[in-house]
């Protein structure tokens, strides 16, 4: 592995999603030098992949892309994408060391223009993780149309090393000899903004995800509703038919002891209510039903947004779905206890959306070598002074922003990032 000279900054922000970008911009505006490290190929985290966001129904990409571009252009922010940090050590007060690992893209970022000639010619097709497996992508690819940086990357695991990309690249940017580069790093403070993971619904066998094609996750539905949607319409996967009777199963993987996640994911009620509203717009003839234990519309404007969905005709049924079975035509039978009348009920829908919950990103903990960063019983980063200094962790100088400390919606993530940057600035200053 190649070694490079040490880099030195005021603050290391780990994670380039909305919380990380917000924290970095705040600090940069206070004149601190920030290094932002993102392990994925581009910035924007999960938010850049969303359609419209509750409760204002703003286009998510339209809020995220300018934020991303502000982050990238800010003179006080240095960005490393497709890079990771490890071995964070607190050496002394206001001095942390770490190792930055820049993973090989097998593409020279400075040369690549994002023309996608190579992508066009690449013979390999695999599932596109950024479209949540709804469609395919090539082995050499730009992650998604509004990705920033907009350069290609070679998925070396799936690449067959045919060399076509190298031949067609007009600027000779393809470089199979690239290796990971390790760069020693010194900073004065650290902000953890590593975000969350989504619950894997294959764990709940009785909902049939992965087996019944017309059972999709809410993230897959989200991708069908975004401006850059793959089918330019909402289609059910089994037969490409436009669904007209859609069901949402809430608390899939949340408030559920059986999957080890007893807590509430805080966002699924509202994103489901939002998707239901968008679906009524996209498919005016369709019916949308939401099966839930409760609807947790607690934030500013949320309850009004929930009431609006009732007014639009979204149906809410109180009851946790016990089981989903598939009919021959691909339709699905949901079995649940209708709490309002106490009856076991079976209903048929032609598309089922699982409102999957939020899980901690377990990698956040592993970045720290000494001292060890403490986490709570669910593996979220532990807030050691939740009331008076919410971003504070067990290590002075290390602060937490966004969903690294627990489930959170976008407005709350942004506020927590603002708080983390304020604490970080103070730590460095005093």
329 part of the interface to another protein, by CB under 8 A = no
Closest alpha carbon to 39 in 199, 195, 152: 195
59 part of the interface to another protein, by CB under 8 A = yes
**How near is the Cβ of 327 to another protein at its closest, in Å?**
29
**How near is the Cβ of 70 to another protein at its closest, in Å?**
8
66 vs 136 by CB, closer to another protein: 66
CB-based contact 23:75 (threshold 8 Å): no
124 vs 303 by CB, closer to another protein: 303
289 vs 416 by CB, closer to another protein: 416
Considering only residues 76 to 105 of the shown chain, the ones binding another protein according to CB under 8 A are none
Among 2, 66, 123, 202, binds another protein (CB under 8 A): 66
391 part of the interface to another protein, by CB under 8 A = yes
58 part of the interface to another protein, by CB under 8 A = yes
Q: Which three-class secondary structure state does DSSP give residue 299?
A: coil
Among 5, 92, 258, 341, binds another protein (CB under 8 A): 341
145 vs 370 by CB, closer to another protein: 145
Considering only residues 287 to 316 of the shown chain, the ones binding another protein according to CB under 8 A are 293-304, 307
Can you give the C-alpha Rg of the chain in angstroms? Answer: 23
Stretch of residues binding another protein (CB under 8 A), selected from 3-11, 51-59, 159-167, 175-183 = 51-59
260 part of the interface to another protein, by CB under 8 A = no
Considering only residues 207 to 236 of the shown chain, the ones binding another protein according to CB under 8 A are 226-229, 232
Q: Which residue in this structure is represented by tokens 């720290």?
A: 368
Pairing of strands 153-154, 140-141: antiparallel
262 part of the interface to another protein, by CB under 8 A = yes
Phi-psi region of 9 (alpha: psi -120 to 50; beta: other; left: phi over 0): beta
How far apart are the C-alpha atoms of 137 and 425, rounded to whole Å?
Answer: 42
Please report, for residues 43, 294, 304, the alpha-carbon distance to residue 297 in angstroms, rounded to integers and kept in the order given. Answer: 29, 9, 8
Among 19, 165, 276, 419, binds another protein (CB under 8 A): 419
357 part of the interface to another protein, by CB under 8 A = no
Among 8, 56, 129, 329, binds another protein (CB under 8 A): 56
Stretch of residues binding another protein (CB under 8 A), selected from 67-75, 83-91, 101-109, 123-131 = 67-75
**How near is the Cβ of 248 to another protein at its closest, in Å?**
16
**How does 133-149 read in b/e, with b if 16+ C-beta sit within 10 Å?**
bbeebbbbbbbbebbbb
Stretch of residues binding another protein (CB under 8 A), selected from 98-106, 115-123, 198-206, 379-387 = 379-387
Considering only residues 130 to 159 of the shown chain, the ones binding another protein according to CB under 8 A are 145-146, 148, 150
237 vs 402 by CB, closer to another protein: 402
Considering only residues 21 to 50 of the shown chain, the ones binding another protein according to CB under 8 A are 26, 29-30
105 vs 349 by CB, closer to another protein: 105
Instruction: Please give the span between the terminal C-alpha atoms of the chain, in angstroms, as a whole number.
Output: 38
Q: Compute the half-sphere exposure of residue 298: CA atoms within 13 Å on the CB side of its CA.
A: 10
217 vs 261 by CB, closer to another protein: 261
**Token couple for 14:** 């780990």
Positive or negative torsion for Cα 317, 320, 322, 324: positive
How far apart are the C-alpha atoms of 212 and 375, rounded to whole Å?
Answer: 36
Q: What is the DSSP letter of 337?
A: E
Pairing of strands 140-141, 11-14: unpaired
245 part of the interface to another protein, by CB under 8 A = no
Per rule CB under 8 A, count of chain residues that contact another protein:
81
Please report, for residues 3, 169, 326, the alpha-carbon distance to residue 174 in angstroms, rounded to integers and kept in the order given. Answer: 21, 7, 47
| 306 phi/psi in degrees, rounded to 5 | -65, -45
How far apart are the C-alpha atoms of 108 and 338, rounded to whole Å?
Answer: 58
């Amino acid at each position: 592995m190649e070694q490079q000279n040490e880099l030195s900054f005021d603050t290391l922000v780990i994670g380039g999603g909305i919380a990380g970008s917000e924290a970095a911009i705040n600090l940069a505006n206070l004149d601190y030098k920030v290094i932002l490290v993102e392990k994925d190929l581009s910035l924007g985290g999960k938010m850049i992949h969303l359609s419209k966001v509750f409760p204002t129904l703003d286009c998510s990409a339209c809020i995220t892309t300018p934020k991303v571009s502000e982050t990238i252009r800010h003179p006080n922010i240095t960005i490393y994408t497709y890079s990771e940090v490890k071995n964070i050590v607190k050496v002394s007060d206001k001095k942390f060391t770490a190792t930055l690992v820049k993973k090989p893209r097998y593409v020279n970022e400075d040369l690549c223009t994002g023309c996608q000639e190579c992508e066009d010619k690449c013979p390999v097709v695999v599932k596109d993780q950024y479209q949540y497996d709804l469609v395919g992508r090539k082995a050499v690819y730009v992650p998604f149309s509004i990705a920033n940086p907009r350069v290609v990357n070679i998925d070396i695991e799936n690449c067959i090393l045919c060399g076509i990309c190298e031949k067609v690249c007009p600027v000779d940017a393809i470089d199979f000899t690239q290796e990971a580069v390790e760069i020693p790093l010194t900073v004065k403070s650290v902000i953890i903004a590593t975000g969350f993971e989504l619950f894997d619904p294959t764990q709940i066998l009785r909902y049939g995800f992965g087996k019944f094609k017309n059972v999709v996750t809410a993230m897959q539905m989200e991708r069908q509703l975004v401006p850059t949607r793959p089918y330019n319409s909402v289609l059910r996967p089994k037969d490409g038919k436009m669904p007209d009777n859609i069901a949402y199963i809430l608390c899939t993987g949340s408030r559920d002891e059986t999957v080890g996640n007893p807590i509430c994911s805080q966002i699924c009620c509202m994103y489901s209510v939002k998707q239901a509203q968008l679906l009524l717009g996209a498919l005016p003839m369709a019916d949308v039903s939401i099966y839930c234990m409760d609807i947790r519309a607690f934030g500013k404007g949320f309850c009004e947004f929930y009431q609006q969905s009732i007014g639009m005709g979204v149906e809410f049924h109180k009851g946790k779905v016990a089981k989903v079975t598939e009919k021959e035509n691909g339709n699905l039978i949901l079995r649940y206890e209708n709490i309002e009348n106490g009856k076991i009920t079976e209903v048929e829908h032609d598309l089922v959306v699982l409102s999957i919950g939020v899980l901690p990103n377990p990698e956040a903990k592993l970045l720290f070598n000494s001292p060890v960063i403490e986490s709570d019983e669910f593996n979220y980063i532990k807030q050691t002074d939740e009331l008076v200094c919410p971003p504070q962790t067990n290590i002075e100088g290390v602060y937490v922003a966004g969903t690294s400390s627990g489930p959170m919606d976008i407005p709350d993530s942004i506020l927590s990032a603002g708080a983390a940057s304020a604490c970080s600035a103070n730590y460095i200053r005093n």
